[in-house]
Structures are given as structure tokens and as C-alpha cells.
Amino acid sequence: MILNQITVPSLDLVVSMDFYQKLGFKLIVKSLPHYLRFLCPDGHTTFSVHQVKHLPQGDGVWIYFECDDLEKQVDEFMKVGITFEDQPTDQPWLWKEVRLKDPDGNQLILYHAGENRLNPPWRVKDVG
């Protein structure tokens, strides 16, 4: 099984389209006013946005996007007007990450984990 896409809700797809293109996503489906689909900058996964009348309440889904050179990416995104909640920070789970919200308040985390993404020191040992 392979993860194909994640879909997030939006009140205004035109605003979302601009935001995600600034993050480097390539628009591959534009079905305004209901749906957008993007190819992620690296790899073959896609990311989509669908129009809703009301945004969900509560914390919602947190979406992580891995970046090889996190600090450089953050600098580049700031140059095009992307606002972050904090600065890239080393976390106890051995990832460096920075958080931001899209125009609809969906939580995005850009991070770099390297080998620790799939093989942290506390990884469950394979059985058998």
C-alpha cells in the first residue's frame, strides 16, 4: 500500500491555490470552486484541497512535509510571504521542525528527520 494523497478543507480555494503554489506544489487539477489537486514538490504523492461551507472544529489533522534543507526552505518561503509560527527547532523525537498554518488554519509542519524518520532509536523491533 502507498499513500496517495491527503485532502484538507478550505473556504476559499483561490486563496489556498496561491498559498500551496508558493510552497512549491504543482497544480495538476483545478476544478474551481470545489477542488484542487497538487503534486508534491518531491516524490509522487499528491495533496488536495476541497471546498467546504464550514471548517472543522478542534485540532484537526496535522500534516508533515519533509524537507532535506529545512532552514533554506524556510528562508525561501519567508521571501514569498509565508509566515511561520516559530523557527526551525530540534525536537526530543530527533526531528527538526517548524510549524505554520494554511489560510484555513490547517496545521502544517515542515521538518527534517533524516534516518530518524523511519529508524528512531526507539523503533519497534521486527518480530520473527
Is 109 contained in some domain? yes
Is 25 contained in some domain? yes
Binned average pLDDT, 10 residues per bin, the chain of 128 residues: 90 97 97 96 92 92 93 96 97 96 96 93 79
Q: What domain range includes position 70?
A: 5-117
pTM: 0.90
Q: Which residues contact 26 (CB under 8 A, 6 or more apart)?
A: 38, 39, 41
Look at residue 60 in the predicted model and tell me its pLDDT. Answer: 83
Contact 77/98 with Cβ under 8 angstroms? no
Q: Please state the separation of Cα 21 from the chain's center in Å.
A: 12
Domain count, the chain: 1
Is 125 contained in some domain? no
Is 123 contained in some domain? no
| CATH code at position 69 | 3.10.180.10
Q: Which residues contact 54 (CB under 8 A, 6 or more apart)?
A: none
Is 52 contained in some domain? yes
